């Protein structure tokens, strides 16, 4: 039987095209996953604040600034006056501190760029996690190593469930933990 | 509704079971047909594809794609917005946690104690203050809904002055103050009239005295549309004082209510209902009370009465006279003939007599405020005869800072207004143009006053239209104040938010005028005045051990301060006076009763969407008032529900639609006031009919009761939106089925005494087999459950308003309600049973039953509704695609579908106004178009309790969680908790002899238990 052009297209060209399409899709899908989840997102902030300096080198506890995290679902970004507790005296001459002082004197809040955000319609609760003994770094990464704060982990539902369903193996050091609830009303209401 | 004659000829052949409307009772074909449908007729009309616009799906997606591409090219898709922290964080705020402030409710003169929940500085919910000695942690539906008035986008934002052309233009506060003070200074001996509502604040009274000192020609007039003047004057005539005692409702065995709605609108309903319901406890049958109600229209009190006797209000005097004869002289003959005259079975009257005679000292007769003075006098003597003075409280009494003005003084004010002797009228947040009877001629009189100054905490109203200056004043939540309504304690009011608009507190406005200089005003002006008045006048009398500052801060924290004042002497009954009521006028023709609206009060709340959408507890009509008439009267007039009639009393006429009210006395027309507002805002305008125009200063028996009224059919109709028909339990379909559905189960106290398990005996066989595997995890930890004690539920609807506030429920409007698209997660079903002319009424709170075998869960194609391990039926909005299968499969009809984004849809985006963002509860998702929603058992409160339990390292207990409806329920009919906890209260109710589940034969295994209602009727009553 004479091989027609159609046969050639069906037997060779089509599979190759499909294979390439599929391959590129798969590679792009996995390669861009982190990007899509927002991992690595490190925007420029209005004031060049270094977590590495404060939390890392100077070993200031997270909760010195982020008060209320053990009481409420929100881990508060500190009010300007918390910064000024020290910076009314400390390093008043540095350009970033001058910027900070300017904000403070004018009474304007600093419009920090938001980094960590759970998807819409989710009610994440910080205090529940913190009070169970789960360290901030589990989700936020090693903030004390970051000159510029950025996102380290995925904040998608799969990331939440991954931990909730494997809490015991994730946190062998925590005695008080067996599993995280995985019913809808845990986060959605 | 079909065109078929509503009242069929075979009146004597009604269905004996429970019915909700005449259509159902007589198996109207339209009802039978509609009960086969999930949604009402027209519910999906707007979504008919033929009627949609020509904008095709393809074009839509092309545009969406193009704009998405454009957006993606233009912005950083990873941008997540900004976080704006505080500069200075207020010390008491923890982000994400509410802060509560104690204050005093100013929705009505009763001044209940409130706790205001604020989140990040904005008030989001009002609840009762549990420390308050009278309201004890509960408030009424107006108190709950008052928060919406604070955020009313149409509140007047700036002072306004009327220009020469009659339009209003903005004016600066300082300028308006200067101009107004100029007017007062140039009054030249002419009167300055201040018109206000009831004065409850002692400090405000002092302030008004100061005002009179500064401007000596000023006089204060305080009025209420609904007041207790007849009761007061009757008490004065029979006891010689005006100190009417409070009643120990909780010790009364027999209560006879004459045209009195003491559970619904009259008196301090919070206290009345709480005390009354204490004796509706099924575990304490010995003290179970018995309520007789004799009334014309069906009221909330009458609906809950064990025995209800319908009687036109103008025959009450005769009735009391007959009772007097029967009890005093042991002569039943008069009562017997009275019964024959008004068609009341003597059996009922005889039982009443027997009960009163055998419960001397434990019975009380209570006459309604609509009744004339002579009925009240007669009732006073009758009460004395049956020893009701036993039930008068001597531990506490009403305290009145200042009495209301009487009619003569108002008349003389209007006379001097007409003769030009009044230089200025100040309306202190009052609306007399709407409230005063038209034959006062107030509208004409006010036009002759050179300066009319109206202060309003809402937006424009009928009175502002005739004013020269309109000054916006603070809402109660933005104001300082105090109140004294009872002996024994003071209440304090503190602001919880700075004024949202350019408003000032009305007291501060007056203070500025007293000072004579407009620059005196400051935000603290009235606070300083209040504080110094307390320091100088009130604090010294309290003998507090604290210094004043400590005392003051403590008092503000608590919201109340106890004092040691003693109730005044009630007086003792005069021996003469009893003969005054022997002369009984003949009764004939139609009688018109004007009564207070359950929802909007005297009209002060008519711009409040939540209250307008709260179904009337009896008729279940929303967004309207109407004339209630009996079935027979309707037949005589040849009208049916929705038809317009014309009512004429003297020279005053009103066209209004009718509602046939089962249980209404014949020839009695009852209309709620407070509707038919003009010039008053988007929500209230065009809602209902202004029946205030039927008031007259002297032609009625009382200001609310008119005899010799003429009524005629006018032709034409006006559709009323009624919520009772839809979400029907499919009665038409199952009528012939062997099993009765037993939605409402009731018994009598006598029956229960003999056989406590009578309910269980009639119980349906439940087939426990199920297609689905059992939930294995439900027994592990907590399992949430609710119980509703139908003996205590009065059907008032406080829970519904509280749910609005807690769960961000949208207002949908009359048109949408009439299509069956109301969004209330919680409703009170009302069933009639028995004789349609004189029916029994049963209520049932209906909300998501959180079934363990939930029919909704199985049919959701996207698993948007699932079961949680703690027994909740979960609804996940972001999964829902809006198939509505769940609602179709729900036997209880408690799911609500967002046919629109109702915030956008209602009144052209009225609720999208940015100020409404402030009223939302941030812990609850705001649902948009196309998703199903329903009661979540206040999951946000459960999660908060869980969060606190984890923080404190304690196990989560059922008693830690209170749902919003439970908190709101005055009579504590609602209980919530953990049914796995065997010691819990909820467990007791779940296993109670009277406990049952609705439609339990469907094997849905609901987590809501109802306690069957026991009527306190004897066998012969029934």
Q: What is the pLDDT of residues B87-113, one digit of tens each?
A: 988 888 888 889 999 999 988 889 999
Give the highest mean pLDDT range of A8-12, A144-148, B28-32, B582-586: A144-148
B87 and A71 within 8 Å at the Cβ level: the answer is no
Q: Answer for the pair B252, B280: CB distance below 8 angstroms, yes or no.
A: no
CA distance B846 to chain A (A): 21
For the segment B809-843, what is each residue's pLDDT rounded down to a tens digit? Answer: 999 988 888 888 889 999 998 888 877 788 888 88
Interface test with A, best of B78, B119, B927, B940 (most A CBs within 10 A): B78
Nearest to A114 among B82, B870, B940 (CB): B82
For the segment B179-211, what is each residue's pLDDT rounded down to a tens digit? Answer: 998 888 888 888 899 999 999 999 999 999 999
* pLDDT at residue A19 in the model: 95
Radius of gyration of chain A (CA): 24
* pLDDT at residue B739 in the model: 34
Q: Mark out the alpha helices in chain A (DSSP H runs).
A: 5-8, 14-31, 33-37, 51, 62-65, 80-87, 95-106, 126-131, 137-140, 157-165, 167-170
Residues of B in contact with A121 (CB under 8 A): 877-878, 925
Lowest mean pLDDT across B132-136, B253-257, B315-319, B774-778 = B774-778
Q: Return the residue of B nearest to A74 by Cα.
A: B96
Q: Return the residue of B nearest to A118 by Cα.
A: B80
Confidence check: pLDDT of B861 > 90: yes
* pLDDT at residue B55 in the model: 63
B951 and A70 within 8 Å at the Cβ level: the answer is yes
Interface test with A, best of B95, B782, B921, B924 (most A CBs within 10 A): B95
Residues of A in contact with B947 (CB under 8 A): 73, 125, 127-128
Nearest to B85 among A78, A127, A188 (CB): A78
Query: Distance between alpha carbon B149 and the CA centroid of its chain, in Å?
Result: 15
> Residue A166 domain-assigned?
yes
Residues of A in contact with B96 (CB under 8 A): 68, 72-74
Nearest to B951 among A67, A71, A111 (CB): A71
CA distance A20 to chain B (A): 25
* pLDDT at residue B6 in the model: 45
Residue B961's nearest CA partner among B972, B984, B977 is B977
Distance CA B820, CA B367 (A): 38
Q: Return the residue of B nearest to A111 by Cα.
A: B84
B876 and A188 within 8 Å at the Cβ level: the answer is yes
CA distance A77 to chain B (A): 6
Angle between helical axes of B506-515 and B525-533 (0-180°, round to 10) = 90
Interface A:B, Cβ pairs < 8 A: 122
> Residue A27 domain-assigned?
no
CA distance B923 to chain A (A): 8
* pLDDT at residue A5 in the model: 84
Confidence check: pLDDT of B53 > 70: no
Q: Answer for the pair A155, A117: CB distance below 8 angstroms, yes or no.
A: yes
* pLDDT at residue B1022 in the model: 46
Nearest to B925 among A81, A113, A121 (CB): A121
For the four alpha carbons of B682, B602, B696 and B624, in that order, the dihedral sign comes to: positive
Radius of gyration of chain B (CA): 29
* pLDDT at residue B186 in the model: 87
Q: Return the residue of B nearest to A70 by Cα.
A: B951
Residues of chain A in Cβ contact (below 8 Å) with chain B = 38, 41, 43, 67-68, 70-74, 76-81, 103-104, 107-115, 117, 120-121, 123, 125, 127-128, 131-132, 181, 183-186, 188-189
Interface test with B, best of A118, A184, A186 (most B CBs within 10 A): A184
Give the Cβ contact number of residue B292 at 10 Å. 23
- φ/ψ of B636, rounded to 5, equals -65, -40
Nearest to B97 among A71, A128, A132 (CB): A71
For the CA atoms of B69, B73, B74, B77, what is the dihedral angle to 10 degrees?
90
Considering the domain delimited by B245-397, tell me its CATH architecture.
3-Layer(aba) Sandwich (3.40)
**B928 near A CB under 8 A:** no
Confidence check: pLDDT of B317 > 90: no
Residues of chain A with pLDDT below 50 are: none
For the segment B362-386, what is each residue's pLDDT rounded down to a tens digit? Answer: 899 999 999 988 889 888 888 888 8
Strand pairing of B168-170 and B160-162?
A: antiparallel
Considering the domain delimited by B748-767+775-1015, tell me its CATH architecture.
2-Layer Sandwich (3.30)
Confidence check: pLDDT of B881 > 70: yes
961-1020 in B: which are within 8 Å (CB) of A?
Answer: none
For the segment B465-500, what is each residue's pLDDT rounded down to a tens digit? Answer: 889 999 999 999 999 999 999 888 999 999 999 999
Nearest to B96 among A74, A131, A186 (CB): A74
A72 and B876 within 8 Å at the Cβ level: the answer is no
> Residue A164 domain-assigned?
yes
**B693 near A CB under 8 A:** no
Distance CA A19, CA A16 (A): 5
A127 and B947 within 8 Å at the Cβ level: the answer is yes
B986: CB partners within 8 A, 6+ apart: B785, B786, B787, B958, B975, B976, B977, B978, B979
B923 and A123 within 8 Å at the Cβ level: the answer is yes
**B96 near A CB under 8 A:** yes
**B926 near A CB under 8 A:** no
Specify the 3-state DSSP secondary structure of B712.
strand
A189 and B936 within 8 Å at the Cβ level: the answer is yes
CA distance A55 to chain B (A): 19
Fold for the domain defined by B160-226+404-562: Rossmann fold (3.40.50)
> Residue A92 domain-assigned?
no
Q: How many residues does chain B have?
A: 1022
B82 and A43 within 8 Å at the Cβ level: the answer is no
Q: How many CA atoms lie within 13 A of A109 on its CB side?
A: 14
CA distance B853 to chain A (A): 17
What's the mean pLDDT in B876-889?
Answer: 91
What's the mean pLDDT in B246-265?
Answer: 91
What's the mean pLDDT in B598-607?
Answer: 88
Nearest to A80 among B83, B87, B953 (CB): B87
Residues of A in contact with B121 (CB under 8 A): none
Q: How many residues does chain A have?
A: 189
Share of chain B above pLDDT 70, in %: 90
- pLDDT: which is higher, B737 or A173: A173
Q: Assign B734 a pLDDT band (cuts: 50, 70, 90).
A: very low
Q: Assign B33 a pLDDT band (cuts: 50, 70, 90).
A: low
Distance CA B490, CA B856 (A): 51
Q: Return the residue of A nearest to B922 by Cα.
A: A123
Domain range holding A130?
43-77+112-186
- pLDDT: which is higher, B765 or B390: B390
**B87 near A CB under 8 A:** yes
* pLDDT at residue B723 in the model: 83
Residues of A in contact with B936 (CB under 8 A): 185, 189
Nearest to B874 among A112, A115, A183 (CB): A183
Distance CA B258, CA B231 (A): 13
Interface test with A, best of B860, B947, B961 (most A CBs within 10 A): B947
Nearest to A125 among B79, B939, B947 (CB): B947
Looking at the DSSP bridge assignments, the partners of residue B83 are A112
Distance CA B59, CA B57 (A): 5
Q: Which residues of B718-748 are buried (b: 16+ CB within 10 A; e: fewer)?
A: eebbbbbbbbbbebbeeeeeeeebbbbbbbb
Is the domain B588-722 a CATH 2.40.40.20 member?
yes
* pLDDT at residue B287 in the model: 87
Q: Return the domain boundaries, chain B.
A: 1-36, 160-226+404-562, 245-397, 588-722, 748-767+775-1015
Tally of domains in chain A? 1
A79 and B89 within 8 Å at the Cβ level: the answer is yes
**B778 near A CB under 8 A:** no
> Residue A87 domain-assigned?
no
A113 and B79 within 8 Å at the Cβ level: the answer is yes
> Residue A65 domain-assigned?
yes
What's the mean pLDDT in B41-58?
Answer: 63
Nearest to A114 among B81, B870, B923 (CB): B81
Q: Return the residue of B nearest to A182 by Cα.
A: B868
Distance CA B140, CA B108 (A): 10
Share of chain B above pLDDT 90, in %: 33
Q: How many CA atoms lie within 13 A of B545 on its CB side?
A: 0
What's the mean pLDDT in B588-593?
Answer: 89
> Residue A119 domain-assigned?
yes
Confidence check: pLDDT of B71 > 80: no
CA distance A58 to chain B (A): 23
């Amino acid at each position: 039987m004479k091989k027609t052009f159609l046969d050639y297209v069906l037997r060779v060209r089509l599979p190759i095209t499909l294979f390439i399409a599929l391959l590129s899709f798969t590679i792009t899908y996995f390669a861009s996953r982190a990007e899509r989840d927002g991992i690595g997102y490190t925007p420029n902030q209005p004031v060049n604040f270094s977590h590495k300096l404060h939390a890392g080198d100077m070993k200031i506890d997270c909760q010195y600034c982020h008060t209320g995290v053990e009481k409420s679902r929100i881990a508060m970004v500190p009010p300007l006056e918390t910064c000024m507790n020290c910076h009314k005296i400390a390093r008043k001459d540095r350009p970033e501190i001058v910027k900070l002082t300017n904000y403070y004197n004018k009474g304007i809040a600093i419009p920090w760029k938001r980094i960590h955000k759970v998807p819409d319609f989710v009610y994440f609760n910080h205090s529940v996690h913190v009070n169970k003994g789960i360290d901030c770094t589990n989700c936020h990464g090693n903030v004390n190593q970051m000159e510029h704060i950025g996102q380290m982990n995925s904040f998608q539902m799969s990331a939440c469930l991954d931990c909730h369903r494997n809490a015991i193996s994730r946190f062998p050091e925590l005695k008080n933990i067996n599993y995280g609830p995985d019913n809808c009303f845990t986060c959605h209401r | 509704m079909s065109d078929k004659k509503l009242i069929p000829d075979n009146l004597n052949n009604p269905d004996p079971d429970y019915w909700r409307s005449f259509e159902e009772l007589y198996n109207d074909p339209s009802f039978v047909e509609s009960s086969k449908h999930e949604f009402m007729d027209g519910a999906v009309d707007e979504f008919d594809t033929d009627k949609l616009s020509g904008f095709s799906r393809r074009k839509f997606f092309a545009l969406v794609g193009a704009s998405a591409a454009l957006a993606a090219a233009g912005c950083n898709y990873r941008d997540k917005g900004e976080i704006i922290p505080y500069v200075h964080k207020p010390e008491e705020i923890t982000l994400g946690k509410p802060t509560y402030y104690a204050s005093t409710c100013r929705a009505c003169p009763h001044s209940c104690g409130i706790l205001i929940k604020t989140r990040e500085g904005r008030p989001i919910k009002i609840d009762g203050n549990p420390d308050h000695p009278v309201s004890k942690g509960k408030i009424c539906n107006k108190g709950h809904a008052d928060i919406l008035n604070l955020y009313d986008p149409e509140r007047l934002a700036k002072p306004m002055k009327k220009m020469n052309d009659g339009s209003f233009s903005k004016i600066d506060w300082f300028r308006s103050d200067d101009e107004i003070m100029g007017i007062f200074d140039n009054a030249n001996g002419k009167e300055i009239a201040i018109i206000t509502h009831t004065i409850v604040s002692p400090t405000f009274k002092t302030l008004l005295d100061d005002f009179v000192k500064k401007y000596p020609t000023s006089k204060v007039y305080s009025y209420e549309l609904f007041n207790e003047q007849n009761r007061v004057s009757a008490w004065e005539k029979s006891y010689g004082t005006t100190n009417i005692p409070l009643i120990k409702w909780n010790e009364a065995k027999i209560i006879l209510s004459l045209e009195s709605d003491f559970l619904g609108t009259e008196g301090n309903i919070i206290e009345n209902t709480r005390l009354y319901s204490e004796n509706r406890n099924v575990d304490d049958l010995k003290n179970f009370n018995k309520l007789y109600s004799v009334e014309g229209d069906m009221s909330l009190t009458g609906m809950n009465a064990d025995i209800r006797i319908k009687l036109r209000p103008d025959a009450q005097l005769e009735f009391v006279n007959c009772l007097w004869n029967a009890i005093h002289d042991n002569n039943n003959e008069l009562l017997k003939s009275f019964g024959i005259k008004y068609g009341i079975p003597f059996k009922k009257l005889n039982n009443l007599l027997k009960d009163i005679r055998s419960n001397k000292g434990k019975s009380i007769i209570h006459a309604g405020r609509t009744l004339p003075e002579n009925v009240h006098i007669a009732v006073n003597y009758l009460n004395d005869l049956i020893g009701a003075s036993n039930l008068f409280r001597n531990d506490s009494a009403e305290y009145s800072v200042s009495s209301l003005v009487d009619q003569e003084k108002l008349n003389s004010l209007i006379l001097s207004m007409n003769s030009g002797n009044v230089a200025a009228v100040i309306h202190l947040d009052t609306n007399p143009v709407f409230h005063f009877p038209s034959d006062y001629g107030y509208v004409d009189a006010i036009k002759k006053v050179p300066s009319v100054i109206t202060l309003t905490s809402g937006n424009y109203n009928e009175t502002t239209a005739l004013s020269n200056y309109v000054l916006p004043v603070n809402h109660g939540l933005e104001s300082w104040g105090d109140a004294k309504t009872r002996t024994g304690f003071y209440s304090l009011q503190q602001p919880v938010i700075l004024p949202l608009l350019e408003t000032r507190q009305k007291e501060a406005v007056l203070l500025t005028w007293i000072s004579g200089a407009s620059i005196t005003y400051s935000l603290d002006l009235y606070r300083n005045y209040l504080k110094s008045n307390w320091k100088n006048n009130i604090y010294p009398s309290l003998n507090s051990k604290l210094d004043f500052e400590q005392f003051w801060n403590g008092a503000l924290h608590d919201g109340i301060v106890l004092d040691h004042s003693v109730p005044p002497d009630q007086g003792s009954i005069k021996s003469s006076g009893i003969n005054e009521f022997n002369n009984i006028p003949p009764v004939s023709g139609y009688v018109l009763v004007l009564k207070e609206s359950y929802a909007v009060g005297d009209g002060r709340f008519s711009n409040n969407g939540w209250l307008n959408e709260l179904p009337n507890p009896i008729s279940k009509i929303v967004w309207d008032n109407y004339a209630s008439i009996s079935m027979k009267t309707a037949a005589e007039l040849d009208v049916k529900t929705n038809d317009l009639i014309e009512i004429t009393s003297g020279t005053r006429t009103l066209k209004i639609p009718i509602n046939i009210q089962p249980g209404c006395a014949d020839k009695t027309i009852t209309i709620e006031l407070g509707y038919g507002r003009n010039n008053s805002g988007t929500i209230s305008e065009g809602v209902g009919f202004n029946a205030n125009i039927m008031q007259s200063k002297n032609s009625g028996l009382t200001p609310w009761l008119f005899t010799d009224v003429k009524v005629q059919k006018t032709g034409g109709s006006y559709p009323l939106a009624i919520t009772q028909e839809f979400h029907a339990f499919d009665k038409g379909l199952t009528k012939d089925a062997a099993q009765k559905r037993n939605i409402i189960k009731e018994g009598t106290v006598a029956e229960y005494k003999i056989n406590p398990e009578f309910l269980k005996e009639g119980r349906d066989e439940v087939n426990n087999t199920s297609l689905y595997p059992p939930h294995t995890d439900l027994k592990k930890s907590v399992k949430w459950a609710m119980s509703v004690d139908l003996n205590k539920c009065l059907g008032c609807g406080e829970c519904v308003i509280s749910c609005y506030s807690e769960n961000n429920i949208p207002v949908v409007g009359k048109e949408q309600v009439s299509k069956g698209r109301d969004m209330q997660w919680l409703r009170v079903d009302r069933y009639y049973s028995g004789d349609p002319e004189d029916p029994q009424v049963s209520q049932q709170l209906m909300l998501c039953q959180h079934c363990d075998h939930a029919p909704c869960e199985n049919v959701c194609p996207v698993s948007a509704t699932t079961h949680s391990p703690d027994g909740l039926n979960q609804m996940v909005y972001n999964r829902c695609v809006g198939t509505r299968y769940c609602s179709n499969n729900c036997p209880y009809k408690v799911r609500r579908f967002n046919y629109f984004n109702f915030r956008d849809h209602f009144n052209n985006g009225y609720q999208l106004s940015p100020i409404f963002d402030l009223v939302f509860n941030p812990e609850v998702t705001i649902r948009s178009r196309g998703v199903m929603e329903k009661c979540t058992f206040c999951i946000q409160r459960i999660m908060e309790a869980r969060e606190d339990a984890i923080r404190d390292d304690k196990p989560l207990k059922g008693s830690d969680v209170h749902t919003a409806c439970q908190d709101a329920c005055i009579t504590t009919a609602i209980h919530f908790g953990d049914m796995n906890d065997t010691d819990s209260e909820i467990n007791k109710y779940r296993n109670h002899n009277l406990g049952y589940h609705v439609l339990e034969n469907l094997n849905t295994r609901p987590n809501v238990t109802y306690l069957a209602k026991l009527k306190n009727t004897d066998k012969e009553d029934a």
